[in-house]
Amino acid sequence: MVDRATNGEPATSTGGAAPPPSAAAHRRAVDTLLASYAAIPPGAPVRLAKRTSNLFRFRDAGARDRARRPAGLDVGALNRVLGVDPDARTAEVQGMTTYEDLVAATLPHGLMPLVVPQLKTITLGGAVTGLGIESSSFRNGLPHESVREIDVLTGAGEVVTARPDNEHRELFRGFPNSYGTLGYAVRLTIDLEPVKPYVHLRHLRFTGADEAMAAFERICADRRYDGEPVDFIDGTVFAPGELYITLAAFTDEAPWTSDYTGRRIYYRSIANNGAAAADDYLTVHDYLWRWDTDWFWCSKALGVQNPLVRSVVPRRYLRSDVYRKAVALDRRYGLSARVARLRGQAPPEPVIQDIEVTADRGAEFLDFFHREIGMAPIWMCPLRLREPEPWPLYPLEYDRLYVNFGFWGGVPSRPDRPEGHHNRLVEAEVSRLGGHKSLYSEAFYDAEEFWRLYNGDAYWRLKRAYDPDERLLDLYAKCVQDR
Tell me if 389 is assigned to some domain. yes
Tell me if 12 is assigned to some domain. no
Last residue of a domain, one of 160, 194, 228: 194
pLDDT value of residue 238: 97
Tell me if 100 is assigned to some domain. yes
Kindly report whether the peptide bond that precedes residue 390 is cis, defined as omega within 30 degrees of 0.
Answer: no
Indicate the pLDDT class of residue 66, thresholds 50, 70 and 90. Answer: very low
Tell me if 406 is assigned to some domain. yes
Last residue of a domain, one of 169, 194, 219: 194
Q: Whole-angstrom Cα distance, residue 121 to residue 125?
A: 11
Indicate the pLDDT class of residue 6, thresholds 50, 70 and 90. Answer: very low
The CATH number of whichever domain residue 367 belongs to comes to 3.30.70
Nearest Cα neighbor of 225 from 237, 234, 215 is 215
Average pLDDT over residues 63-89: 76
Tell me if 235 is assigned to some domain. no
- Per-residue model confidence as pLDDT tens digits over 154-212: 999 999 999 999 999 999 999 999 999 999 999 999 999 999 999 999 999 999 999 99
Helices (H), 343-414: 362-372
* H or E segment to which residue 85 belongs: strand 81-85
- Per-residue model confidence as pLDDT tens digits over 349-360: 999 999 999 999
Q: Who wins on pLDDT, 468 or 274?
A: 468
Tell me if 308 is assigned to some domain. no
Are the C-beta atoms of residues 294 and 302 closer than 8 Å to each other?
A: no
Are the C-beta atoms of residues 21 and 115 closer than 8 Å to each other?
A: no
Between 7-11, 294-298, 328-332, 433-437, the lowest mean confidence (pLDDT) is in: 7-11
Based on its alpha-carbon atoms, the radius of gyration of the chain, rounded to whole angstroms, reads 22
Q: Are strands 183-194 and 198-206 parallel, antiparallel or unpaired?
A: unpaired
* H or E segment to which residue 93 belongs: strand 90-94
Last residue of a domain, one of 194, 227, 249: 194
Tell me if 393 is assigned to some domain. yes
Tell me if 246 is assigned to some domain. no
Q: Who wins on pLDDT, 166 or 51?
A: 166
How many domains does the chain divide into? Answer: 2
The full DSSP string for 41-81 is PTTS---B--S----B------HHHHHHS---B--TT--SE
Q: Is the pLDDT of residue 249 over 90?
A: yes
Range of the domain at 349: 334-444
Nearest Cα neighbor of 177 from 353, 444, 446, 394 is 394
* H or E segment to which residue 204 belongs: strand 198-206
Instruction: Provide CB contacts within 8 A for 155, sequence distance 6+.
Output: 181, 182, 183, 463, 466, 467, 468, 469, 470, 471, 472
The CATH number of whichever domain residue 143 belongs to comes to 3.30.465.10
